Structure 1
Amino acid sequence: MPSLPDECIRLSSGYPAPYLVPAEEIKGAVTHLLEEEKDLPLHYLGSPKMEQLKGQIQERLAIRGIDVAENELLLTSGACQAIDLIARILIDDQTLVAIEAPTYMEALEIFCNYTNQFISIPVDEHGLRTDFLEEILAERKQKGFSLPRFLYSIPTFQNPTGTTMTEERRKHVLELAAKYNFLILEDDAYGELSFGEQQTPLKAMDNYGRVLHVGSLSKVVAPGMRIGWVAAVPEFITAMAWFKKDLDHPFAQATMAAYLESTNMKKRLETIRATYQAKCSVLLSALEQYMPQSATWYVPEGGYFVWLKVSVDTSELLAQALKEGVSYVPGKYFFLHQKEGTQFLRLSFSYADEKKIVEGIKILAKVLKEAK
């Protein structure tokens, strides 16, 4: 992605709305933390407050139906470290990995550091095409080809498409994992950002320990705190902890624990969900009003993103869009085979304010129409 002009409307940015980041509350948590624990959070070994965080995460997971013991949970520096640690213990250069198409670009880059063996499974408006996955697995088994070590999936408010895997498909993919003996890396970064009924994580439906559940507080508190985790069976947690060594962030973890201790997260989540639902509605209404008829998109039920298909090469169009004052992410970055993404683009409704969202869609629609 090229650098963005200062005044550009950032419909590319998958960041929280600035006014939803609790800066003052975190400042208060830091003050309280240092008054209570003095210098302890600033040392290598951390402090008692830091040790509370794992229990707080366990409580938050339990609310969503994921019951894990202490030895089934590893705290990480954000979700990306969690994904990288999983890759380290599960992948070598001969390992086959199943991925969604499209998928989260950072995860794809991480996996490519370890292997070049992939199978891509398409995503539609109902999430991962589990019927397509089943066909590929059956064919590979019949021909004696290798089967995937794991499937990487974002089943809830997927990045970049915003789609959500149906309950039927969730059950199906778990059945396939058991039948064909593969694991599932469930990336649940957006799982708490539902506009309506809360979705059941794959991990909450997993009776056989096949799901490694990755989550973070980046979308519901603050991304710069870098608080993430993996929930998995103890042997995987032990292996990941060995690679992680002592690469914790004691001050950030202690601060987060202090923040969570003093915050009504249920109320905060209600505010966040209502805000993003309103911003998403503004973006969808602007798309309906201004986009050319050839453009199509999925309607998300939560998360940050809307995924568009248009009739031009979105990578070639980006320079003109930036010149006019709006940014997006070209679809090619979300595919293993980038040519598959030439007519797609990702828009984010999370970061820009509602007025800027409408203005940005007007500009983008104009650029698209002039490109024909």
Structure 2
Amino acid sequence: MNEKFPLSKDIRLVFKHDPPGQWLPKLPPGCIKLSAGYPAPELTPSQELKEAVARLLDEEGDAPLQYIGSPRTPELKQYIRKRMAVRGMETAADELLVTAGACQAIDLIARILLDEEALVVIESPTYMEALEIFQNYTEQYLSIPIDENGLDTDRLEQVLLDRQRAGQALPRVLYTIPSFQNPTGTVMSLDRRKHLLRLAGDFDFLIIEDDAYGELAFEERPVPLKAMDADNRVIYVGSLSKVVAPGMRIGWVAGAEELITLLSWFKKDLGHPFGEATMAAFLEKTNFADRVDRLSGAYKEKSEAMTAALKKHFPESASWYTPDGGYFVWVHVPGIDAAALLQTALDAGVSYVPGKYFFLDEREGREFLRLSFSYVNETEIEEGIRLLGKVVSELK
């Protein structure tokens, strides 16, 4: 031991909550990864990105490798603005900040908007990593359930009215994934989107719209909340992780200019010049609309394969939402403990994510599990669901 820096073996890091990433166990070799919310390997543009890097360095030399970065970097922001405009969201350059994926965007938003007194409305269930982020800043939450039409805004309104009448604190922020939600795959209905925006005005809170999956619609794409936002209450979080490659770490946040200025002050990593320039070079040579259509078609087929396999191999008591886009199927199996069952499933050769990680109160997720159809092929989907169905049926 270095006496200048002594450390006791008894020192422990104390967490109020489980450390991040506890939902991702070590997987045995050959395991069918129904837990993996990753893009399909065959649809990830490895060769195109390789060519983009070569073109970038050939044309610009060391510029993309320096702090100031490539002249292509501003082009990435312009591309993002154009994609948003296609979906009804007109955004000025000073109303958008490029981030290292959606998680950095959410963390920056939480850093400037939340404190120990801040009340946050979350969906139940919700994206586990967003929940982990918010728990770094506040312990005050309202958890509102989701059904097949997304966030139950009638329930939300009643809770807010009750709190207002009782003189209790009202929320500062509401976090939602309205389109192809993680983990449920559900879509908030148009009527509920309108209702939510009205509630934000009536009760004076901001909405964080996480739209990571919004372009991956099997049929018609939902209208983003941001496109319906007349009062600038929606802070929009986007990502290229699901439609290009998550390892590129390209996300963004769009909102009021004052908000974006504050976010940029707290973003101390000097940007990501090489990754942003590479993405810009890739997009120069890509018909992105065609790419998204191809992804959506492929994931639709995978989704249909998974729901067909669930009907074939799972007990009749099981139920799930049939997704219209995104990556996930959310399964309810009455009577099981999904977390306790995971090791048995892993031993059988298949993985999933137990539902408890998506709830503020983990007990609410006991009988649920999240399955992903995005990463695996249709043969693996069929076999993985067969194995998992056998494990579930033997337990019951």
TM-score range, shorter chain: over 0.9
Q: 2:3 corresponds to which residue?
A: none
Q: Please state if 1:27 is matched with 2:23.
A: no
Q: Please state if 1:362 is matched with 2:386.
A: yes
Q: Secondary structure at the match of 1:120?
A: strand
Q: Distance in 2 between matches of 1:51 and 1:298?
A: 40
Q: 1:73 aligns with which of 93, 96, 105?
A: 96
Q: 1:302 aligns with which of 303, 317, 325?
A: 325
Which string of whole-angstrom CA distances, capped at 9 and with x for unpartnered residues, describes residues 283-334 of structure 1?
Answer: 0100111110010000110000000000211011111000000000000000
Q: 2:206 corresponds to which residue?
A: 183
Q: Secondary structure at the match of 2:142?
A: strand
Which string of whole-angstrom CA distances, capped at 9 and with x for unpartnered residues, describes residues 249-290 of structure 1?
Answer: 100000000000110001111110000000000001001111
The letter for the 2-side match of 1:334 is F
Which string of whole-angstrom CA distances, capped at 9 and with x for unpartnered residues, describes residues 94-119 of structure 1?
Answer: 10000000000000000000000001
Q: Distance in 1 between matches of 2:378 and 2:138?
A: 42
Which residues of 2 match residues 209-288 of structure 1 at below 5 A? 209-288=232-311
Report if aligned partners of 2:53, 2:281 keep a CA contact under 8 Å in 1: yes
Q: 1:324 aligns with which of 345, 348, 360?
A: 348
Report if aligned partners of 2:68, 2:273 keep a CA contact under 8 Å in 1: yes
Q: 1:345 corresponds to which residue?
A: 369
Q: Distance in 1 between matches of 2:290 and 2:185?
A: 24
The letter for the 2-side match of 1:291 is F
Q: Residues 143 and 195 (structure 1 numbering): CA distance in 2 closer, same or farther, change over 3 Å?
A: same
The letter for the 1-side match of 2:395 is A
Q: Please state if 1:37 is matched with 2:60.
A: yes
Q: 1:110 corresponds to which residue?
A: 133
Q: Distance in 2 between matches of 1:296 and 1:52?
A: 45
Q: 2:155 corresponds to which residue?
A: 132
Shift of 1:364: 0.6
Q: 2:177 corresponds to which residue?
A: 154
Shift of 1:78: 0.2
Q: Distance in 1 between matches of 2:138 and 2:268?
A: 23
The letter for the 2-side match of 1:270 is D
Q: 2:339 corresponds to which residue?
A: 315
Shift of 1:50: 1.3
Q: Distance in 1 between matches of 2:270 and 2:146?
A: 35
Q: 1:18 aligns with which of 41, 59, 65?
A: 41
Q: Distance in 2 between matches of 1:37 and 1:62?
A: 29
Q: 2:14 corresponds to which residue?
A: none
Structure 1: state its 5+ residue gaps.
none
TM-score (norm 2): 0.93
Query: Percent same amino acid at aligned positions?
Result: 60
Shift of 1:245: 2.9
Q: Please state if 1:47 is matched with 2:64.
A: no
TM-score (norm 1): 0.99
Over 2 Å off, 4+ runs: none
Q: 1:58 corresponds to which residue?
A: 81
Q: 1:204 aligns with which of 227, 235, 258?
A: 227
Q: Distance in 2 between matches of 1:178 and 1:225?
A: 36
Q: Distance in 1 between matches of 2:78 and 2:339?
A: 45
The letter for the 2-side match of 1:9 is I
Q: 2:109 aligns with which of 86, 96, 115?
A: 86
The letter for the 2-side match of 1:129 is D
The letter for the 1-side match of 2:240 is L
Shift of 1:198: 1.1
Q: 1:119 corresponds to which residue?
A: 142
Structure 2: state its 5+ residue gaps.
1-22
The letter for the 1-side match of 2:238 is G
Q: 2:395 corresponds to which residue?
A: 371
Which string of whole-angstrom CA distances, capped at 9 and with x for unpartnered residues, describes residues 166-203 of structure 1?
Answer: 00000000000000000000000000000001110000
Q: Secondary structure at the match of 1:48?
A: coil
Q: Distance in 1 between matches of 2:317 and 2:291?
A: 39
Q: Distance in 2 between matches of 1:33 and 1:53?
A: 13
Shift of 1:246: 4.2
Report if aligned partners of 2:330, 2:370 keep a CA contact under 8 Å in 1: yes
Q: Distance in 1 between matches of 2:328 and 2:270?
A: 31
Q: 2:6 corresponds to which residue?
A: none
Q: Secondary structure at the match of 2:182?
A: coil
Q: Distance in 2 between matches of 1:273 and 1:155?
A: 17
- Number of residue pairs matched by the alignment: 372
Q: Distance in 1 between matches of 2:122 and 2:99?
A: 22
Which string of whole-angstrom CA distances, capped at 9 and with x for unpartnered residues, describes residues 182-238 of structure 1?
Answer: 000000000000000111000000000000000110000000000000000001101
